[in-house]
Amino acid sequence: MNITPAVLSMLYPSSSSSSGGISTSLLTGGTSSSTATASAGAIKAGLVNAQKNEAKQMAQVARDPQVVKDLARYEKVVKSATSIDEVLNDPIARKVLMTANGLKADVDNIGLLKRAMMSDPTDANSVAARMSSINGAWIDFANKYNLAEYGIDRLHPQQDGMEGRWKISLEREGETIDAMLEVSQARGGVWQAFVDGVQIPIIVDGDDVTLNLLWRDDADELHTTTLEGTLGANGMSGKQFNDGAPIEDVWGATPYFADALEDVRTNYIAEKRLDMLDQQLPGLGSAVLFKQIAANLKDATDILGSPLGREVITTAFNIPKQIALQSLFAQEKVINQRVDASKLQNENYVDIIAQRYLLVLNGGLGGVTA
């Protein structure tokens, strides 16, 4: 079945076409057509161009006024928030955070998302764990952010002078060791410090700090490391002594979640880019993303457990969505009859599936076989 001219015009727009304020010329490298009939080759070209121009598309989306406005609002809310609830109660901040983490479908289900996002990632019965059977992104979010443990600090570092969570880097037996240093001041002005959950002695004098650590080498011999440093605008740094002897390398500490805002920003732009591709050709963004994650789908269970993998595979091979009502064993049997999961490590095989998905989604197979 031929793809309609309307779909073709989305695949090969003119350089002046746009969608939501975002130019679409980068999708196809400037190719334009208004009367030709789309073929399997044309859809393949659209997919190739979408991947080839990824960097330009990302830069283009990053300049889109609405995206800029959304990210500015998210940053403002997160920087002023004192709790996760304050972030999730703001519709724009909530949309940005959820979209950046593959959860935009549930952005309006506030009560559920709060319980899921605050889930303990180690609890198999948590809301996030139970919802992962529908969308694996929920447990991925819980594992990545662990808001139940870190709270608002995970979205924007909550440093108060010396107090806060720090990523500490020091030298040990010629290697750089990174760990989480947590510094706090208890009642009465008593300072406390923990390195990866283990309490260590700490002395604070104004902006100066001294930390003492005990550790064992491969021969199980006990050693001491003393860190003497000063708090500055970019974190803490200073001299290190191993068993009392100074070493050349300095130690340092920066806010542990210093990259949190930039991480959300990058992922939000990436998701909006996929949305842009989907607007130009239905499913194109999903096809591009499928090609990126396909190697992680080791078997039928992985395919069924991935919302994207399930959608692409069932659509590409005309598998009825109603198989979701069957037992897991029956679903896996159907998947294995149509797809060789072991070949999902093969780029060419995955590319054929992605093309097939796009063709079926947009009107027919067009002669592509897998």
Q: What gap in Å lies between CA 331 and CA 313, rounded to an integer?
A: 12
Burial status of residue 138 (CB atoms within 10 A of its CB: 0-12, 13-18, 19 or more): buried
- What ranges do the domains of the chain cover? 82-154, 164-255
Instruction: Name residues whose C-beta falls within 8 Å of residue 261's C-beta, 6 or more positions apart in sequence.
Output: 75, 78, 155, 156
CA 182: distance to chain centroid?
Answer: 25
Residue 171's closest CA among 100, 91, 238, 240?
Answer: 240
Residue 47's closest CA among 278, 271, 309, 310?
Answer: 278
Instruction: List, in sequence order, every residue forming a beta bridge with 160; answer none if it has no partner.
Output: 163
Torsion of CA 102, 105, 110, 112, to 10 degrees: -80
Q: Do the beta carbons of residue 46 and residue 12 sit within 8 Å? A: yes
Per-residue pLDDT tens listing for the chain (370 residues):
333 333 333 333 333 333 333 333 333 344 333 323 346 777 888 788 888 999 999 999 999 999 999 999 999 999 999 999 999 999 999 999 999 998 888 888 888 888 998 988 888 888 888 887 777 788 889 999 999 999 999 999 999 999 999 999 999 988 999 999 999 998 888 999 999 999 999 999 999 999 999 999 989 999 999 999 999 999 999 999 999 999 998 999 999 999 999 999 999 999 999 999 988 888 999 999 999 999 999 999 999 888 889 999 999 999 998 888 899 899 999 999 999 999 999 999 999 999 999 998 887 654 444 5
pTM for the complete prediction?
Answer: 0.78
Q: What gap in Å lies between CA 62 and CA 74, rounded to an integer?
A: 14
